[in-house]
Amino acid sequence: MRRRSPAAVVCAGVILLAGCAGVAEERTEADGRGQSPAHAPSDIGGPDRGSLAPVVDHVRTRDRVVFLTYDDGAERDPSFVGLVRERRLPVSMFLTDSVVGPGYGHFARLRAVGASLQNHTLDHSALRGLPYAGQRAEICGQQDKLRSRFGIRPRLFRPPYGTYDTTTLRAAADCGIRAVVLWRASLDPGGALTYTRGKPALRPGDIVSVPSGEPASLTLTERTERLLRQIEGRGLRVGRLEDYL
């Protein structure tokens, strides 16, 4: 791409191992390898400031928190609502309208017990390479859906398959998105964490993706409980991503 800002290359050059249903691997921008790791929007400057949404896969913080993110909205395990309520987990749910379909009630219940609902497009299209109008329609359209359903204006957006380009970042900003959220760690179906870059261990500020839609022998609740044991084993807790972006 011709035009780049620091925000546009934050996650460049990494191989994303998981995070969206049906795709095991996606490569993001081909260039930018060796750039500094993802950072909070406050770190970002340059001529494009204000016109491109920043990309983050990790939050720079000294707080001993990690962030749990869930994609698509395909999995509606009722016991997951109970887990979020009992453990007071401020998880982030990135929802795709065509996947959630008539299932928004489940997410209303999750929201009522502390989850936040965020944007994962209308139709789960791979956005990179699409014209601005098409990308904007996917992002702004889901903003409108979530506003009409819940009266909210999501500030966070995750592109399907973790794939995006500069047009995505511009469209996201124009739709009111404050950050495009990827992940540094992803939970595999066996319950192990894999990492897109850096040291292969959980550290404060990590954004963790819990994929859905994969053949998994464990329920979403069981996978999350296992993940919580790993998090707590490292002296970490679950933070609210919105509070940091």
Task: Establish if 97 lies at the interface with Zn ion (CB under 5 A).
Answer: no
Return the range that interacts with Zn ion (CB under 5 A); candidates 46-54, 67-75, 107-115, 147-155.
67-75
Angle at 217 between CA 185 and CA 71, to 5 degrees: 40
**Between 163 and 224, CB nearer to Zn ion:** 163
Task: Establish if 71 lies at the interface with Zn ion (CB under 5 A).
Answer: yes
Task: Establish if 73 lies at the interface with Zn ion (CB under 5 A).
Answer: no
**Between 26 and 72, CB nearer to Zn ion:** 72
Can you tell me which of 8, 10, 11, 20 binds Zn ion, judged by CB under 5 A?
20
**Between 5 and 119, CB nearer to Zn ion:** 119
The residue assigned the tokens 């702004």 is: 140
Structure tokens, 97:
């309208």
**Between 122 and 236, CB nearer to Zn ion:** 122
Residue type, 35: Q
**Between 6 and 107, CB nearer to Zn ion:** 107
**Between 6 and 160, CB nearer to Zn ion:** 160
CB of 116 to Zn ion, least distance (A): 17
Long-range contacts, 4-7 (Cβ 8 Å, 24+): 4/32, 4/166, 5/44, 5/46, 5/47, 5/48, 5/49, 5/52, 5/169, 6/35, 6/44, 6/45, 6/46, 7/41, 7/44, 7/46, 7/48, 7/52, 7/53, 7/54, 7/55, 7/169
The distance between the two most distant Cα atoms of the chain, rounded to a whole number of Å, is 48
The residue assigned the tokens 């192990």 is: 192
Task: Establish if 127 lies at the interface with Zn ion (CB under 5 A).
Answer: no
Element (H, E) at 208: strand 207-210
Number of residues forming the site for Zn ion (CB under 5 A): 4
CB of 110 to Zn ion, least distance (A): 17
Given a contact cutoff of 8 angstroms between Cβ atoms, the answer to whether 33 and 171 are in contact is no
CB of 114 to Zn ion, least distance (A): 22
The residue assigned the tokens 């869930």 is: 70
Can you tell me which of 72, 138, 165, 206 binds Zn ion, judged by CB under 5 A?
72
Q: Which residues bind Zn ion (CB under 5 A)?
A: 20, 71-72, 160
